[in-house]
Amino acid sequence: MENTALGDMTWFPAADDYLMICSPSGRILFVTSSLRFQLEEDLVGRSLNDIFPDSLAAQIVTLAHEGQSHSFHTKLQGKAVRCSMTPKEGNMLITVFFAQENHPPAMALSAAELLSREISSSLGTMFAAWDALPPAQDQKSQYAKSVLRQGMYRLMRMGRNLLDCARAESGQLELNVRQSDLCQLVRQLCQRVEPMAEEVGIPFSWDCPEEPLFCPFDRERVERVILGLISNSMKYTRQKNQMRLVLTKREDNAVIILADRGRGIPASVLPHLFSRPPESSLSRGLMVGGAGYSLMLARAVMLLHGGTCVISSVPDEGTTVTLSLPLHPSTPYLSLGAPPPDYASGFDHVLLELSTALPASFYKEEPKKSKSYPASPEQ
């Protein structure tokens, strides 16, 4: 593949999330516009002990000097918040999560678990009945079966995303992290996606290093994040315009950049992309298939890895999403002994995750169980 990067990428956040950057001494250097708007004040230039208790501010600075991350609950300008501090390139990146009275969960975890279970149970019955159907005899019947099959894939995807987003909002989303080759995963996904995108008239190019890039990550969830972002780009990218995905290494981070030449996102919408997707998407007319959970899930998964998810966009020009994963996290990560069950229940991962973007013609084949991707060798 052509070895060309998409510009000079950096971990520096865009203004669409609640983030602040502090110097090693605790001086606030940068605050996103979303956080300034939420607090009704610009904190740039102030010290952490101006906005947090002295003991907490001292603890944050000390841990950052030791290269350790830290999560804590406190009040920020009188508002209850949960914060996560991560050392970044000599500075500190602090992510702010406002309490539920400001951003209530889109759905209680118990309700999401019940709904997801009902969806899975119904899908099990539907797929069992599908196996008993006779082959379609004419073109009209074949198309009808393709639409029905695609709908089952969409329901499967929605049930899993809904459950994981509810778990993330409630602080109960856990990772199954292993030291794996990120290049292998990205390469496999791009090789599958490229001909599919070309078939629907969207040129898709990608660039991935030849040598392995090992880092600790949850293979299932990172795969779903990448495919979910590709699905969004395909939905909002006009035919003959292009998508490009680049995997590169920047400092101590693996960086994945997905850029498209789609219709872009208005500046007024950017601050709301990661919060309560069903309401925000419906109210702004952004729903084009899917329930709008992919961006919310992408951000949650990246933060759990100690990384970031940054979106920049210009209306009528396109959107760029940048994911970062630390190569050497400063905090211990969860590593489970046995691999989790296949989230796609044995069906094609790519067809499942792109089911809201691809036309029904991609689902004309019988839903046969597919071989899962080979496990990435551990370092």
> Residue 331 falls within a domain, yes or no?
yes
Answer whether residue 315 shows pLDDT above 60.
yes
- HSE of 247 in the Cβ direction (CA atoms, 13 Å)? 23
**C-alpha–C-alpha distance, residues 235 and 156, integer Å:** 19
Predicted pLDDT of residue 14: 45
Structurally, the chain folds into a number of domains equal to 3
Residues 280, 258 contacting (CB under 8 angstroms): no
In terms of Cα–Cα distance, which of 239, 240, 236, 241 is closest to 321?
Answer: 236
Answer whether residue 289 shows pLDDT above 70.
no
Answer whether residue 376 shows pLDDT above 60.
no
What burial class does residue 285 get, using C-beta atoms within 10 Å of its C-beta: 0-12 exposed, 13-18 middle, 19+ buried? exposed
> Which domain CATH number covers 86?
3.30.450.20
Residues 184, 214 contacting (CB under 8 angstroms): no
> Residue 199 falls within a domain, yes or no?
yes
Residues 272, 286 contacting (CB under 8 angstroms): no
> Can you say how many angstroms the Cα of residue 68 is from the centroid of all Cα atoms in its chain?
24
In terms of Cα–Cα distance, which of 373, 205, 233, 215 is closest to 294?
Answer: 233
Average pLDDT over residues 356-375: 66
Predicted pLDDT of residue 130: 76
Helix, strand, or coil (residue 211): coil
Q: In terms of domains, do 192 and 274 share one? A: yes
Answer whether residue 370 shows pLDDT above 70.
no
The CB density around residue 332, as the number of other CB atoms within 10 Å, is 8
> Residue 4 falls within a domain, yes or no?
no
Q: In terms of domains, do 246 and 301 share one? A: yes
> Residue 5 falls within a domain, yes or no?
no
How far is the first Cα of the chain from the last one, in angstroms, to the nearest whole number? 25
Q: In terms of domains, do 276 and 208 share one? A: yes
Residue with tokens 């379609």: 136
Answer whether residue 231 shows pLDDT above 80.
yes
Instruction: Note the pTM of the prediction, 2 decimals.
Output: 0.69
The pLDDT tens digits for 13-41 are: 444 578 899 999 899 998 888 788 888 88
Q: In terms of domains, do 206 and 240 share one? A: yes
> Residue 263 falls within a domain, yes or no?
yes
DSSP strand pairing (318-326 vs 308-314): antiparallel
Average pLDDT over residues 37-53: 85
Q: In terms of domains, do 59 and 195 share one? A: no
> Residue 132 falls within a domain, yes or no?
yes
Q: In terms of domains, do 34 and 154 share one? A: no
> Which domain CATH number covers 265?
3.30.565.10
Q: In terms of domains, do 92 and 130 share one? A: no
Residue ranges with strand state E in 214-327: 214-217, 243-250, 253-260, 308-314, 318-326
> Residue 149 falls within a domain, yes or no?
yes
Predicted pLDDT of residue 264: 84
The last residue of one of the domains, among 98, 125, 150, is 98
Q: In terms of domains, do 161 and 186 share one? A: no
Range of the domain at 29: 19-98
The pLDDT tens digits for 238-286 are: 777 889 999 999 888 999 999 998 888 887 777 667 765 444 444 444 4
Average pLDDT over residues 181-188: 96
Q: In terms of domains, do 28 and 71 share one? A: yes
Predicted pLDDT of residue 337: 52
Predicted pLDDT of residue 204: 94
Q: In terms of domains, do 90 and 116 share one? A: no
One-letter amino acid of 59: Q
Q: In terms of domains, do 91 and 236 share one? A: no
**C-alpha–C-alpha distance, residues 119 and 107, integer Å:** 16
Q: In terms of domains, do 201 and 347 share one? A: yes
Provide the pLDDT confidence category of residue 226 given band limits of 50, 70 and 90.
very high
One-letter amino acid of 3: N
> Residue 13 falls within a domain, yes or no?
no
The pLDDT tens digits for 144-172 are: 888 888 988 998 898 888 888 888 877 77
